[in-house]
A and B are shown apart, each in its own frame.
Chain A
């Protein structure tokens, strides 16, 4: 078995007979496993150490939420997120989880997947005329734990059978083996967050290399999935123009643009508390050297003229490849959309276009 393995696993006693717990035990035969009444772990000495612990437990709350990127003042793609896991084994220097799950002592996987699926099914039934986009990659990597959980084997058949939803599995891993034997029926998009090789090497510790991600994308596309790409965060590092252009060229030498569901762009952004969390880590992230300035939404980004320049460049290169590929930018105000795309669609129009492109 390849892929991430934890240093230890804690399984809540009530879930010890669950299918997920059984799979984890089987696949981690030499990892210490603790069965506990309640997995209240002490805070680890470092944030990184928490990423080596796995907790198997029941989710007592809701699985389904609106994407937190949809804050007031930005054009939003009306995305929904489902949280079957929390925290991520990769340790990207810019990741908001460093702040969001700052005190989270472990990676958590939830056993009651069926409850989550029932929750989304109720929403889909209640709004039959609307097609939703749902992703599992906001507080977790959609595929990084799949070799332990087989979560995709439950999600893909479920979503493939729904008439009005598209599931996005967003990842920085190359763990697509489970997906290859499943039939997505055009209801599942597998997408990769990409960056330049320099940024991947420097800022995305533990994640698959760019070449590995692209190889995985080719495999799933050949297996019948639509794929997506997220240039997010775009980082204004030395040589960014050549770097991102080369990545785009590399992708589309191998990927069929007719089976690309969407490509998104998003600028590096951080809240003051995330910045403080990043600065508190032992290894200094070079991306803190970029010229981030405060924006009206409380986040810091590189100044707007530079963001617009970056978006325009990437957009032009992507359109040179195939002008029909659906493109959007994430967490930017209408005025930036206007400069980049020459129009400002409503939130619902952005969402409608993205699902229409899949039809």
Chain B
């Protein structure tokens, strides 16, 4: 695909600066102009490394293909635009963009993760207790960490956990982890 000289030059210049591999640049230049431009805008804005760029690109491309849309439409659509505007620093913005993309790419999974997070919240555990869900819900066990600096704090955490274990929300968490709704 032949692009406007300024676009091709922009991509090549940026790729050289960030030392992207040749194959990635060639793939980039095979995109439609609007897609290539949107990707360049994001890469420059967030100063993406090659792996970061590829992750964002692959995920956005999957969403675009599924929704019969375009890479540019995903990268400049409302969810990503909101994420790009919302966060302050570059790394926070990248994190927000990745989260927005993940929500688009895995709607059922993310909805289930969010429901689980709500249920964990409702357990009203103290700050000394941290509950971690399995990555991508690929597992049915919860990790519970207790960080305390006194016997009294440990007793309080244990009591809170004991109370939480008897709540219906706790049962709901394990039910949801075990089988999709």
With an 8 A cutoff between CB atoms, is B12 at the interface? no
B178 contacts partner chain A, Cβ-Cβ < 8 Å: yes
Q: Which of A291, A295, A312 contacts B106 (CB 8 A)?
A: A291
Is B47 positioned at the interface, with any CB of A under 8 Å from its CB? no
- A residues less than 8 Å from B108 (CB atoms): 291, 306
B140 interface residue (CB < 8 Å to A):
yes
**Contact B136–A293 (Cβ < 8 Å):** yes
Query: A303–B137 contact, CB under 8 A?
Result: yes
Binary contact readout B112-141 vs A (1 if CB under 8 angstroms, 0 otherwise): 100000000000000000000000111110
Q: Say whether B177 faces chain A, with CB atoms less than 8 Å apart.
A: yes
Report whether over half of chain A's contact residues are helix, strand or loop; otherwise say mixed. Answer: helix
Interface size on B, residues (CB 8 A): 19
Does A305 contact B65, Cβ atoms closer than 8 Å? no
A308 near B: Cβ within 8 Å?
yes
Name the B residues within 8 Å of A289 (CB-CB).
62, 65-66
Asked if A305 and B106 sit within 8 Å, CB to CB, the answer is no
How many CB-defined contacts (below 8 Å) exist between A and B? 52
Assuming the contacts A291-B105, A291-B109, A293-B106, asked whether A303 and B138 have C-beta atoms less than 8 A apart, the reply is yes
Q: Are B106 and A335 in contact (CB under 8 A)?
A: no
Q: How many residues of A contact B (CB 8 A)?
A: 17
Q: What distance in Å separates the Cβ of A233 from its nearest Cβ neighbour in chain B?
A: 17
Given contacts A289-B65, A289-B66, A291-B108, contact A303 B178 (CB under 8 A): no
Contact of A335 among B66, B105, B139 (CB under 8 A): B139
In Å, the complex CA distance between A172 and B142 comes to 41
Q: B149 near A: Cβ within 8 Å?
A: no
State whether A303 touches B177 (Cβ < 8 A): no
Tell whether B179 is near chain A: CB-to-CB under 8 Å: yes
Residues of A within 8 Å of B62, CB to CB, are 288-289
Q: Chain A residues near B42: list those with CB within 8 A.
A: none
B-contacting residues of A (Cβ < 8 Å)? Answer: 284, 288-289, 291, 293-296, 303-306, 308-309, 312, 335, 339
